[in-house]
Amino acid sequence: MKSFLWSLLLLAPLHADVAEQWQAEIQPILETYCFDCHADGIKKGDFSFDAFGSIAAMQAKRDAWKRVRENLAYELMPPIDKDQPTSEERRKLIAWIDAAVFPIDPKNPDPGRVTLRRLNRFEYQNTVRDLIGVVPDTQLLPPDDSGYGFDNMADVLTLSPTHLEAYLNTASQALDRAYGKPAARTRNIDPNELKGSPAYEGDILNMYMGGRRAMRLDVKPGKYRVTFRLSGMQAGEDKVKAKILLGAVANEVTVANNEPREFSLTAEITEDQRGLGVDYLNDFWDEATKADRNLLIHGISLEGPLDQQSKRNSLLFPERKEGVSDDQYIIIVLRNFLAHAFRRPATDAEIARYATLVKDQRKAKQSVEEAMRPAFEAAMISPQFLFREWHALYSLEKPGSILSVPELSLASRISYFLWSSSPEDSTLSMAANKQLRPLIAEEVDRMIRSPKSAALVDRFFAQWLQYQDAAFIPIDRKLYPATAGSLRGQMVEETRLFCEDLLKNNLPVTRLIDADYTFVNEALAKHYNIPNVDGDTYRKVIYTDVQRRGVLTHGSILAVTSNPNRTSPVKRGKWVLETLLDAAPPPPPPNVPSLPSANKGITSASLRAQLELHRKDPACASCHKLMDGIGFAFEAFDVDGSRRDGPEIDSRGNLASGEMVDSPAALSKILASKRVDEFHRAFAVKMLTFALGRGLDYYDKPAVDKIVAHAAKNNYTLHSYIHATIYSFPFQNYRK
């Protein structure tokens, strides 16, 4: 086997140095520690070195060698019950793999491929809002898939016929509102005013039993629109089903999303029909698993009475000067609308096609404004509107060419990165005049200061840290009754405000792991046992518990890294590795039994014993060596984020590197010192992944290095990471 591999490697003269090193140093190490299970016809774990007779073959299967590298780096292989290579041997193997299988030439960087990227639901919502001044009802759109932890990854944002029909319906409804926006009063109704079926009342009304909650409206007769913000705690096979009611009209809806979505209903309110309410139709509770399906009412707004007389929508229809003919005005309107919809100036040919549609569809005595509707709808479901990165198709350069992203496309890249929406006129104007790149630093700073940059918190931070999931994950309310009310939403808001403060004040990103402060209102402060906080307003407070640090001990993070009925050192350790250090352990082996649930008598002490027994299995030991010690450091904090004490609580954990930690504060200290380089690199990887809309590859390493280096010169502030990401070679360039 040795001589066979060596002879094949010599066939690749471009790799002479690494081929010579293979024979002299690398293969002997692999023969000693790896070949017994992964060579000479043996293929444990579905991997064998036999398949790689040349460096070219290795490079053709880089995914396999990426796993080899990770297994060596994280000490997952060889198994813990086998002889282990020394640290120097591991370093040598990893360095050789990098040089032979993942060669990088920093002088000739590769920006990576670019894929047409469909607007996801959040981007579509914001783009339509900025295009026509109406926030569309995106509940009609199918949920987006995610990749690499984010829902803006180009490869998973497909477009099916179902999608296209949903986009058309959504655009049509939004245009209805843009055309006939009623001059009506909108009032908010506290969901707790609804009475009837038992529910947990609070900032979020939790209908945990089937039935109706309703109220009588004290308004004058007329047409009204009610909008319910609903979400579901999903359990069982079916999604949450409800019926919303207004006056004599009812509409059954499926609350398929765990995040709040708006459901609207329009009806006449008469003297006899004044009811408003919700029926929860399919309650579900499984005593054995504690799985609980609930309907959550986040808010109710009532708009009306609706006045059918509408004002001209200036976003759709610019001022028409005297003497301008209908045909001329149609061109003016389309030139303005299409430039905003396509995020670039529309061509004369495009304008002509849409103008022809207007003329062909115009009915006798129909106003120009009404005749424009089909053209607006067509533009809002066109590929030019729904997709980004069209410059990759427009380029006439030969495949493989490295090209600069055109400035108009760069404007969209920046805007969707920071705002999850289309660029403003000023940015597009700069790009059209080739002034965006020369003034990019000032423009990025302006966009960061804009209120629209809140989207970076709501999309990047919320998905990266996963804190948004705390609002809807299953938690056993009997064991943790505090989570049945509004506490979950408050925990999510705490982390959101923390990240928002990081952005607004341009703080070092290490505050995420080492801050001695947080943001709480009175209810959350009491839950954390923080004194002297009154009222519903959130404020910045210093932790009174010295064991709390950064977001590590936020209730939202502790909840999403727990099981419904007990804490999980494994999940918490995995979250730290995967999220903060970009060192995700591999999935568990098949047929690994689950640990007992809390309702079966497991305690913190017995859980530790169970995990120690679990680690005796060599197939499990390597990964748990990485995760468990980190996770045990959180054991003094319960599923709901509260502190728990007692002689049975043992929060000591040994890290894979040998250090002992006994609290999140102790772990924070190590993350912010010995492991801080890994944290910064992980942050750069996550942000660049989100900004590019694709997973990173080996050739992105120089870009990540430069992002971290730029941030290091600026005290690792959040703004420096944003700027460096936008300056990066793959953000500014692409491979045809």
Q: Does the structure show a pLDDT above 60 at 98?
A: yes
Q: Does the structure show a pLDDT above 80 at 538?
A: yes
Q: Does the structure show a pLDDT above 50 at 138?
A: yes
Placement of tokens 């100036």 in the chain: 345
Output the pLDDT for position 304.
86
Output the pLDDT for position 181.
53
Two structure tokens written together for 571: 């999940």
CB count, 10 Å around CB of 732? 16
Q: Which helix (H) or strand (E) holds 607?
A: helix 604-614
The tens digit of pLDDT for each residue in 637-654 reads 999 999 998 877 888 988
Output the pLDDT for position 617.
61
pLDDT above 70 covers a percentage of the chain that reads: 91
Q: Does the structure show a pLDDT above 70 at 495?
A: yes
pLDDT category of residue 590 using cuts at 50, 70 and 90: low
Q: From the centroid of its chain, how far is CA 229?
A: 21
Output the pLDDT for position 443.
98
Two structure tokens written together for 185: 């009063």
pLDDT category of residue 556 using cuts at 50, 70 and 90: very high
Output the pLDDT for position 604.
59
Residue pair 502/513 in contact (Cβ under 8 Å)? The answer is no
Two structure tokens written together for 70: 């990770």
State the first-to-last Cα distance of the chain, in angstroms, to the nearest integer: 40
Two structure tokens written together for 233: 């705690």
The three-class DSSP label of residue 653 is strand
The tens digit of pLDDT for each residue in 382-434 reads 999 999 999 888 788 888 899 999 999 999 999 999 999 999 999 999 999 99
Q: Does the structure show a pLDDT above 70 at 725?
A: yes
The alpha-helical segments, DSSP class H, found in 362-518 are 368-371, 373-380, 383-386, 391-394, 407-418, 425-432, 440-449, 454-455, 462-465, 487-504, 511-514
pLDDT category of residue 50 using cuts at 50, 70 and 90: confident
Domains of the chain: 2-100 (no CATH), 186-303 (2.60.120.260), 456-674 (no CATH)
Amino acid at 640: D
Amino acid at 69: R
Amino acid at 568: S
What are the distances in angstroms from CA 169 to CA 136, 141, 174, 220, 263? 10, 9, 9, 31, 15
